[in-house]
Structure 1
């Protein structure tokens, strides 16, 4: 039997296998690096896109905030103007209030009742005078209750005249002016709005 030496062939095959193994490892490492690089680039692109979108949204939000502030200023200006217009309308409607009060007083005071003092404090009226009888004062109270301008009539006292020869009784009556408090409040609000607007 002939002797065949297989060692060089085996060494060559082993070297070929090692070479193939190193090539496979190098290709695997290269492909892994390329895959990692591609994934990294994709995520970086997404992050950049998201950052651009966020920046765009922030700029749009700031623009909207400015517009909202302008709308609030316009709304405040509109409210102030409406308050002033309402105040002007109320003042126009009440500019003849003194004349209306005197006319109404003349209508509710019956014959036989004489006023010696008429005093106004805010929305209250004080009437002091003399009356020929209590019935006439009762009629006056009823007329005041039916009045649209004068409300809450209150008779503080009635007393016989201090002079014996006098047939007249002294009285003191309080009345309220309807709507006067709302007018004063509107005027105060309007003045505050005017000062605030300046």
Structure 2
């Protein structure tokens, strides 16, 4: 048999395999590095995009917070205006009460009773009436009539006394009565002056 030495051929074949392996290894490292760089660029772009979205959301949140503050301010202003309107309506509804009350006093005052002063009490719940009467019976009749009045109730006699001056006829009295629709202090005092 013939012997052929194939060692150099194998050596060259091994060297070719080594070169291809090194080349593939370098190529794999380069491709991996390129993929890593591409991934880093993509992640940076995603972070920038998310930051931009977050900035837009913060701007929108700030705008909405400003709108909510304005809405709360408008609600407070609206409530204040409603309260003012209700106060004006209440004053409008009660502006004639003092006149009606004085009319009640004049209609219910019997002959022989003369009123000097009509004013609200300190607490504003009652009306104090002072005057002169020809007799105690007339004051009693006046108390009964005041108790039957549509706007007046619970009349109470505070005092009834004869004047120190013997020349004057009659008795001085003071009574208080509750008004069912009590006028304001200012309105009653204005009406009493007229």
The alpha carbon displacement at 1:88 in A equals 4.3
Q: Partner residue of 1:55?
A: 55
2:166 equivalent to 1:140: no
Q: Partner residue of 1:153?
A: 154
Between the aligned partners of 2:148 and 2:176, the Cα distance in structure 1 is 13
Match of 2:175 among 172, 175, 186: 172
2:116 equivalent to 1:128: no
Report the count of equivalent residues. 176
Q: Which runs of 5+ in 2 are unaligned?
A: 188-194
Provide TM-score, normalisation by structure 1.
0.64
Alignment RMSD (CA, Å): 3.7
Please list, as runs of the form range in 1=range in 2, the aligned pairs for 1:11-160 lying within 5 A after superposition.
Answer: 11-111=11-111, 113-121=113-121, 122=124, 124-129=126-131, 130=133, 131-132=136-137, 134-143=140-149, 146-147=150-151, 150=152, 153-155=154-156, 157=158
Partner of 1:153: helix, strand, or coil? strand
Label 1:171 to 1:120 Cα distance change in 2 as closer, same or farther (>3 A). Answer: closer
Q: Check whether the contact 1:123–1:180 (CA below 8 A) recurs between aligned residues.
A: no
Partner of 1:22: helix, strand, or coil? helix
Q: Check whether the contact 1:112–1:132 (CA below 8 A) recurs between aligned residues.
A: no
Q: Which runs of 5+ in 1 are unaligned?
A: 185-198
Partner of 2:129: helix, strand, or coil? strand
Q: Partner residue of 1:188?
A: none
Provide TM-score, normalisation by structure 2.
0.65
Between the aligned partners of 2:108 and 2:11, the Cα distance in structure 1 is 137
The alpha carbon displacement at 1:78 in A equals 4.2
Label 1:80 to 1:32 Cα distance change in 2 as closer, same or farther (>3 A). Answer: same
The alpha carbon displacement at 1:125 in A equals 1.6
